[in-house]
Structure 1
Amino acid sequence: MKAVLATDLSAASEATIENETCLECLGRIGVDEMHLVTVIPSNVHAGMPGIDFEKRRRNAISNYERVIGDAGFDVETHVVRGTPHRRIRGIAETIGASLTVVGSRGKSPLENRVIGSTARNLARTTETPLLVNRIEREADDPAVVRQHLFQRMLYATDFSENAERAFETFSYLRHATQEATLVHVETPKDPGLAEDTDPEGRLAELADQLEAWDIETRIEVRQGDPADEILAVEDAVDPTTILVGSRGHSRLRRLLLGSVSEDLVARANGNVMLVPPRM
């Protein structure tokens, strides 16, 4: 299983790469080949006086390559030029990656939880499952917020086809997952389900599948704004990662995140894994 690990060589990226627990989690779900990617922005030119960005990046990324190799992965590095999210996405698609991992800071100085432009653009356009790995923001020596990436999962579903695809990732996440909380939020604005549908019964069926893999599972049906309610559950159960399909019901959102998914990526306390629809 191949994974792309995107880095801008910042202290936050270093925290993701050098955290042994994160690497162990990736190995546990079947990742054995890691592609380490850093992108030199198009507006940075090799001929700029006194600066050789490409050489500096190659020297820095070689240190990360050793860390990943020592952890037992086959590793390949890519130092490329262009628009970061487009080049990262292109490499993931070219190598047939099963997962893309990108680090993202937590709270902004304005107390508004945001993600960086690269993570946001990847979330909106990726055709590969994307793990937004949350990093401490206000720290000189930042650390990952949730070290055990897949130990306690919060899976949010609207029972759409894409939500079902997100659930399918438990087929490999289960090797690192011990607990799971399954959540559906009923909302009058977009009910999405037939009147005779039993959300609790459908969640119970999914829970039975996870229990068969020895994953301790609980279910919860809520009413209200989906993003708000899912984040309330996050506060209550403290998952290591929220798992969600990356687009909602609308067929017009083929290149955009559904509003719920975008809210979760921007506002969640911890990691968020987005699974895009089949293309």
Structure 2
Amino acid sequence: MRAVLATDLSDAIETAIESRTCLECLQRYGIDEIDLVTVTSPNVTAGMPGSDIGGRTKRGLERQRGKLEAEGFGVRTHVMRGTPHRRINGLAERIDADLLIVGSRGQSPLEQRFIGGTARNVARTAARPLLVQRILEHGEEDHEVAAEHLFQRILYATDFSENAERAFEQFDHLETAAQEVTLLHVAPPGRRANGDPDAVSDAEARLGELADQLEERGIETRVVVREGAAVEEILAAEQQFQPTSVLMGSRGRSRMRRLLLGSVSEEVTARADCNVLLVPPAGSR
């Protein structure tokens, strides 16, 4: 399987590439080839007098390539000019990538966390599964990945939409990497009070069917149904169960074509402490 890994050649991305555990998790997912891509601004001219931008970029890519190859990956490098998310997504489509990986640098505590513009724009437009890898900043030169075991503990959030079902298919790749999975559904508040007492029971039953499938694969599974605002309850579940990644579809039941990234998945991606694995709708390619 093939992944596109976006790099800005920063120390933050270097930290992720240097994590042997992270790379081993990608291999357990099935990735054995990586296309390492960096996108430069079209306004920057590598040949400007006194400038060594082109040379620094090439040396940085070769350094990162060497680290990935040392861990057993086949690596291709790409230097592109233009709008980052368009070039990254365009490359993924051209090579028929199985996974996109972008780093998202953030700060602690939670309310100061942010998702970078490139990561956000890739997430909004990606037609391939996307791993947003959280990289924590403790200063300009001090970085660490939020969770080295990328897929060890998964929080799968579902609204039972078609796209959420497609996200569940990721467990075909995560089977050997995931040890613990929390299956979460958030029901609108007041379902019981509004005369729908069976809504939560029905959700638990549907999650139970999914849990049976995972437990047959040897994955420890729990079922959780919450009532309330979807984003807040997903983030609360993240704090409670401490997953290494949240898995969800990038669009729920909304039919608005312009919303390639639904408001729930966008907010969760922006605010979660851990990594986020987003799966786009089937027709987005």
Deviation per residue, 1:88-147 (Å, 9 max, x gap): 111111111110111111227994321110000000000011101000122322110100
Change (3 A) 1:110 1:260: closer
Q: Give the aligned partner of residue 237 of structure 2.
A: 233
Instruction: Give yes or no for contact 1:134–1:271 (8 Å, CA) kept in 2.
Output: yes
Change (3 A) 1:151 1:27: same
Q: What pairs up with 1:73-92 in 2 under 5 angstroms?
A: 73-92=73-92
1:170 lines up with 2:174 in the alignment: no
Structure 2 CA distance, aligned partners of 1:106 and 1:125? 21
Q: Give the aligned partner of residue 64 of structure 2.
A: 64
Instruction: Give yes or no for contact 1:247–1:253 (8 Å, CA) kept in 2.
Output: no
Secondary structure, aligned partner of 2:38: strand
Q: Give the aligned partner of residue 146 of structure 2.
A: 145
Q: Give the aligned partner of residue 45 of structure 2.
A: 45
Alignment gaps of 5+ in structure 1: none
Change (3 A) 1:25 1:142: same
Deviation per residue, 1:236-266 (Å, 9 max, x gap): 1100000000012111144531111011011
Question: For residue 119 of structure 1, what is the amino acid of its counterpart?
Answer: A
Structure 2 CA distance, aligned partners of 1:189 and 1:59? 58
Question: For residue 219 of structure 1, what is the amino acid of its counterpart?
Answer: V
Instruction: Give yes or no for contact 1:42–1:82 (8 Å, CA) kept in 2.
Output: yes
Q: Give the aligned partner of residue 113 of structure 1.
A: 113
Structure 1 CA distance, aligned partners of 2:86 and 2:15? 23
Q: Give the aligned partner of residue 251 of structure 1.
A: 255
> What is the deviation of 1:188?
4.9
Instruction: Give yes or no for contact 1:68–1:75 (8 Å, CA) kept in 2.
Output: yes
Give the counterpart of 2:207 among 203, 208, 222: 203
Structure 2 CA distance, aligned partners of 1:107 and 1:225? 24
Alignment gaps of 5+ in structure 2: none
Structure 2 CA distance, aligned partners of 1:71 and 1:4? 16
Percent identity between the aligned chains? 60
Q: What pairs up with 1:180-199 in 2 under 5 angstroms?
A: 180-188=181-189, 198-199=202-203
The CA RMSD measured in Å over matched residues stands at: 1.8
Question: For residue 269 of structure 2, what is the amino acid of its counterpart?
Answer: V
Question: For residue 249 of structure 1, what is the amino acid of its counterpart?
Answer: R
Question: For residue 121 of structure 2, what is the amino acid of its counterpart?
Answer: N
Secondary structure, aligned partner of 1:164: helix
Secondary structure, aligned partner of 1:143: strand
Change (3 A) 1:28 1:63: same
Question: Greater shift after overlay, 246-255 or 152-161?
Answer: 246-255
Instruction: Give yes or no for contact 2:108–2:136 (8 Å, CA) kept in 1.
Output: no
Secondary structure, aligned partner of 2:134: strand
Change (3 A) 1:42 1:189: farther
Secondary structure, aligned partner of 2:234: helix
Structure 2 CA distance, aligned partners of 1:210 and 1:231? 23
Secondary structure, aligned partner of 1:232: helix
Superposition TM-score, scaled by structure 2 size: 0.92
1:7 lines up with 2:11 in the alignment: no
Question: Greater shift after overlay, 17-26 or 155-164?
Answer: 17-26
